[in-house]
Amino acid sequence: MDHVPTPSATVGPYLHLGLTEKYSVTQVTPKNVKGERVVLRCRVFDAENVPVNDAMIEVWQADSGGRYRHPEIGTQPLPPASFGFGRAATNEGGYCDFETIRPGGVPAPDGKRQAPHISVAVYARGILLQLYTRIYFAGDVANEQDPVLALVPEARRKTLLAHSDAFHPYGWQFDIRLRGENETVFFDV
């Protein structure tokens, strides 16, 4: 007997119907927000390295000064024009794009600064709860001292790095591999 997914068994089509069609936000920060403009392309792959065309990616980030738009995080309020949040569905090629700025480093609990990063939640078929990961920027010298990145085995850190896109002057590419070889590091939060 074939198993028919239900709302409690998988996010299935409910993901697209309920969240992405009406509530996509690909402009994470408005164009007038200060900071280095970037276009972040996220691609999602399954265990067989096949693009996942029905996933949803949520991103949230600090502004260029390392401040979040959240009353309990950071000490300075963000200007109202800063969003810091995005949500998009992957297309047939398994990718979605976000327009944003490169975030600043945020304070860590130990008083040090974390490397600039973007927090990510991945929703996809067959996943009951979202998966959390981070996007760091390859080549950023702050990565060497990041306390969260230091918790990840060195050989696996590459799965958390976005790489500049040679074909797009402001582009960064980040691959999310749900399983298999080079599976992305996901955090238990």
Question: pLDDT per residue over 104-147, tens digit each?
Answer: 999 888 888 899 999 999 998 888 889 999 999 999 999 999 99
Give the model's pLDDT for residue 14: 54
Give the model's pLDDT for residue 40: 97
Please enumerate in sequence order all residues whose Cβ is within 8 A of that of 83, keeping only pairs 6 or more positions apart, or say none: 25, 27, 28, 29, 30, 69
Give the model's pLDDT for residue 82: 59
Place of tokens 């096949």: 50
pTM: 0.86
Taking only the tens of pLDDT, the chain with its 189 residues reads 444 444 444 455 555 555 556 678 899 988 888 899 999 999 999 999 999 999 999 999 999 989 887 655 555 555 555 578 999 999 999 999 999 999 999 988 888 889 999 999 999 888 888 999 999 999 999 999 999 999 999 999 999 999 999 888 899 999 999 999 899 999 998
Give the model's pLDDT for residue 56: 94
Nearest-5° angle of CA 112, CA 81, CA 39? Answer: 70
| Region 14-177: CATH code | 2.60.130.10
- At position 89, the amino acid (one-letter code) is A
